């Protein structure tokens, strides 16, 4: 196999090393060579199939411009380079930095395929014009307005005009007014009725008056839109009788043609017919003799339809020949004598085997996941439409999602992840061999069983899938599966509704801790509907002024006020029983968290500014920050803008984050937190002890306070172990020069224990529950 040669123009040795370390040698279809841009010369560029332009240099690009079809330009997104800046220069092929081997292979394969297709198209174009100019007939293409777009040499010789004069002109002009209007009518008929038209016409030209037998057909694109007409005109001037004329036309048709009488005997045929049908010339032959006796009844029905209704029909059927099966497109038209009586049928057959096979290949590619060989999302929907919507049937759908697959990809690379998906797909085929299996996303699979399937069978299959990922194979040891299952009947329920229900069950399995399967039940749908109602009403809550902040005071052990934690309240009676944390979770899954989050921060900061304006001992007003908020690229800038707009002093405000939020992208989040702390903002780590609580990151974090989770405080009265843990948290915080806030303090006993351990601040119902802004102003300040 010949390898495609790829030249990589790099800017320095580091770029070369990075590319080599990707494992380019694994791409067996390509041979890579490197060249420093400083040593670039345009000599011998033609020997390379593709050129990867690792760093854009305008002077080199101008040299390469004539070969722009083979250039692949690298774009560094991190430096805010945009492909659109280069597309204007004519570049259409890109690689994104940082490189991945898979992306290089995909881009090269795509460009290689595109180059091949262009080459093949150009070759076909040359063949077409060669054929056009070498057939002994006038041939042409016209657009929808009956204007000539292409003509052959025979046409130009007879009309006496060159193509640059003919192009875009109609018959009236081309034939000097001798013919025109009737040709346009024929063109319109062909395009309107979308069928071939054969007629005779006398056309005067440079060769004198000539009679032509003209064959016109509509030209349609792949979307079945009519683009114009194609015509072939054979000079039949010297033919003296109708039979001779027909025989000559028949033999020169580029496809198989035969005529039958009213009883079905084939009376005339051309050589392409015998070649296609694989028959020898015999005295009597019927259509079923080469199609097969099983087609006799349908042939009779077709012929009677043509004869009785005097109409054309077209069909596609399979033809068995000695060279194997062929797919042929057949047209049947009535032969009508001068009295209007149908005296026979003319049939044309065109071999469309390759075209149909190509369509089948394209369809398979469209419906198949290229990695695993399973059906893809489009294939799943095609299966649903073709197999499930046409009849009432029982159905079981299993949604499957691989847990922690992203981590596996990040830690071991996408190539390893692809290998896992391929092997897992093979295992699914073995386990669910009686089901339709599809991979609809990166690590998402859907399996569908038609007909009666017992719950025990489905559970057995689900257990086998979970077991595969439970250490039975070394490759799968870091994975587990969350599975959602739904059953129903296509006659009773919409399939789309079943898919939604299966997805709900999968989501429930993930929420319950993953590595398990959950069957859909109505409670899941109730929760989904409730969540949808909540989300819809949340969208109007700000306009209706339904949101309010309550504040829970934080005190020193001697009940001196030191801080207030802002807590959101939604004044909507419909959802009074829904925990606020569930409502916040719904906001985080939509864009609402941005708008509502800004409302909370602005309101709390403004309140802090108001209460601290003339106060000697400052009261810190803190807000809780979610993962969605801190992950925003403009999080810090947004906080700074709110500080400016509310005129609050940064040393009077605080933000509270949880370990889970912080650790989602710890390095980047630490930088954001550090920037805020340098402004004077107090930083508290909330729910300390319930997450990882690892000292190695605790030392690095730019914190002000640690907040001990209330579950530890609740356990102190009855458990020595909890008291030990709380004491350890307090001592650790003090060793790191951090203050401790103990949450959930509800009894004097709790307070005394924490005092003895030298806790800094207390928060809980012993001193105060969360109260409104007005109560803070009236009773506490």
- The DSSP string of 526-552 is HHHHHHHHHHHHHHHHTTTT-EEEEEE
Using an 8 Å Cβ cutoff, are 70 and 111 in contact? yes
Spatial separation of the C-alpha atoms in residues 12 and 715, rounded to whole Å: 62
Which stretches of the chain score pLDDT less than 50? 240-241
Is the separation of the CB atoms in 743 and 708 below 8 Å? yes
Alpha-carbon gap, residue 267 to 724, rounded angstroms: 106
Q: Which helix (H) or strand (E) holds 436?
A: strand 436-439
Enumerate the H helices of 688-741 as residue ranges.
695-698, 710-715, 720-735
Burial of 284 (0-12, 13-18, 19+ CB in 10 A): exposed
* Per-residue pLDDT, 240: 46
Helix (DSSP H) and strand (DSSP E) numbers for the chain: 30, 29
Beta strand pairing status for 148-151 and 653-658?
A: unpaired
Distance CA 451, CA 397 (A): 11
Are the beta carbons of 490 and 391 closer than 8 angstroms? yes
Q: Annotate 302-338 with b (16+ C-beta within 10 A) or e (fewer).
A: bbeebbeeeeeeeeeeebeeeeeebbbbbbbbbbeee
What whole-number distance in Å separates Cα of residue 741 and Cα of residue 556? 9
What residue ranges in 91-205 does DSSP mark as E strands? 94-97, 138-143, 148-151, 197-205
Half-sphere CA count of 352, side-chain side, radius 13 A: 14
Nearest to 498 by CA among 384, 386, 336: 384
Taking only the tens place, the pLDDT of each residue in 469-479 is 776 565 555 67
Chain centroid to Cα 542, Å, comes to 35
Q: Could you give the CA distance from residue 640 to residue 120 in angstroms, rounded to a whole number? A: 60
The span from the CA of 117 to the CA of 744, in Å, is 70
Q: Cα separation of 70 and 48, whole Å?
A: 9
Question: Where do runs of H (alpha helix) occur along 368-473?
Answer: 377-383, 405-412, 414-431, 455-467
Q: What are the percentages of helix, strand and coil residues in the chain, rounded to 5?
A: 45, 25, 30
Place of tokens 């079923």: 288
Distance linking the first and last C-alpha atoms of the chain: 84
Global pTM value: 0.46
Q: 359-417: per-residue pLDDT in tens?
A: 767 777 778 888 888 888 888 888 877 777 666 778 888 999 888 887 777 777 888 88
CB 680 within 8 A of CB 651: yes
The CA dihedral of 557, 560, 562, 564, to the nearest 10 degrees, is 90
Omega before 205 within 30 of 0, i.e. cis: no
* Tokens of residue 760, six digits: 């800094």
């Amino acid at each position: 196999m010949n390898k495609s040669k790829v030249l990589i123009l790099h800017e320095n040795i580091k770029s070369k090393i990075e590319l080599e370390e990707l494992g380019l040698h694994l791409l067996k279809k390509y041979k890579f060579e490197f060249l420093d841009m400083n040593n670039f010369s345009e000599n011998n560029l033609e020997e390379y199939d593709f050129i990867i332009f690792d760093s854009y240099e305008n002077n080199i690009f101008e040299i390469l411009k004539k070969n722009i079809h083979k250039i692949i330009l690298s774009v560094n997104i991190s430096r805010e380079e945009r492909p659109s800046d280069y597309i204007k220069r004519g570049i259409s092929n890109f690689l994104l930095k940082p490189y991945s081997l898979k992306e290089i292979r995909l881009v090269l394969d795509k460009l290689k395929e595109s180059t091949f297709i262009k080459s093949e198209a150009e070759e076909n174009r040359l063949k077409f014009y060669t054929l056009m100019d070498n057939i002994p007939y006038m041939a042409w293409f016209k657009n929808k307005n009956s204007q000539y777009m292409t003509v052959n040499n025979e046409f130009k010789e007879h009309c006496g005009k060159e193509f640059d004069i003919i192009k875009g002109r109609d018959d009236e002009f081309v034939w000097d007014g001798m013919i025109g209007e009737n040709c346009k009518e024929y063109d319109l008929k062909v395009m309107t009725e979308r069928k071939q038209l054969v007629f005779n016409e006398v056309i005067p030209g440079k060769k004198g008056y000539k009679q032509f037998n003209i064959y016109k057909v509509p030209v349609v694109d792949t979307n079945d839109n009519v683009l114009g007409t194609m015509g072939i005109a054979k000079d039949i001037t010297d033919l003296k009788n109708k039979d001779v004329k027909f025989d000559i036309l028949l033999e020169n048709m580029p496809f198989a043609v035969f005529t039958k009488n009213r009883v079905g005997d084939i009376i005339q045929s051309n050589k392409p017919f015998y070649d296609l049908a694989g028959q020898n010339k015999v005295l009597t032959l019927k259509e079923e003799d080469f199609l097969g006796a099983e087609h006799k009844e349908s042939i009779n029905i077709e012929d009677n339809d043509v004869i009785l209704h005097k109409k054309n029909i077209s069909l596609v059927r399979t033809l068995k020949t000695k060279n194997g099966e062929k797919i042929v497109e057949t047209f049947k038209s009535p032969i009508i004598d001068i009295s209007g009586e149908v005296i026979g049928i003319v049939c044309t057959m065109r071999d469309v085997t390759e075209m149909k096979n190509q369509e089948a290949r394209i369809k398979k590619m469209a419906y198949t996941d290229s990695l695993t060989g399973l059906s893809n999302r489009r294939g799943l929907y095609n299966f649903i439409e073709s197999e499930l919507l046409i009849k009432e049937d029982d159905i079981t759908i299993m949604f499957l999602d691989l847990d922690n697959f992203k981590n596996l990809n990040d830690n071991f690379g996408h190539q390893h992840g692809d290998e896992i998906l391929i092997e897992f797909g093979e295992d699914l085929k073995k386990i669910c061999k009686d089901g339709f299996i599809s991979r609809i996303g990166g690590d998402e699979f859907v399996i569908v069983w038609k007909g009666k399937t017992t719950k025990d069978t489905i559970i057995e299959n689900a257990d086998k899938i979970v077991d595969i990922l439970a250490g039975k194979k070394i490759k799968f040891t870091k994975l587990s599966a969350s599975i959602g299952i739904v059953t129903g009947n296509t006659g009773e329920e919409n399939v789309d509704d079943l898919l939604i229900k299966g997805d709900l069950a999968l989501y429930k399995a993930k929420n319950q801790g993953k590595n398990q399967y959950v069957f859909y039940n109505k409670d899941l749908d109730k929760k989904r509907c409730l969540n949808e109602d909540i989300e819809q009403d949340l969208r109007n809550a700000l306009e209706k002024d339904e949101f309010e902040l309550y504040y829970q005071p934080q005190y020193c052990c001697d009940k001196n006020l030191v801080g207030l934690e802002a807590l959101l309240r939604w004044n909507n009676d419909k959802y009074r029983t829904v925990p606020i944390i569930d409502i916040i979770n719904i906001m985080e899954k939509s864009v609402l968290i941005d708008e509502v989050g800004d409302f909370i921060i602005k309101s709390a900061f403004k309140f802090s500014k108001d209460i601290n304006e003339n106060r000697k001992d400052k009261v810190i007003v803190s807000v809780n920050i979610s993962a969605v908020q801190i992950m925003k690229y403009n999080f810090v800038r947004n906080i700074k803008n709110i500080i400016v707009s509310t005129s609050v002093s940064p040393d009077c405000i605080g933000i509270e984050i949880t370990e889970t939020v912080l650790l989602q992208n710890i390095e980047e989040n630490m930088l954001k937190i550090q920037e805020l702390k340098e402004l004077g903002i107090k930083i508290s780590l909330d729910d300390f002890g319930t997450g990882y609580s690892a000292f190695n990151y605790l030392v690095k974090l730019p914190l002000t306070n640690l907040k001990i989770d209330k579950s530890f405080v609740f356990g102190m009265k009855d458990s020595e172990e909890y008291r030990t843990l709380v004491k350890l948290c307090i001592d650790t915080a003090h060793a790191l020069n951090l203050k401790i806030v103990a949450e959930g303090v509800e009894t004097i006993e709790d307070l005394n224990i924490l005092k003895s351990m030298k806790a800094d601040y207390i928060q809980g119902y012993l001193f105060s529950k969360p109260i409104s802004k007005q109560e803070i102003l009236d009773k506490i300040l």
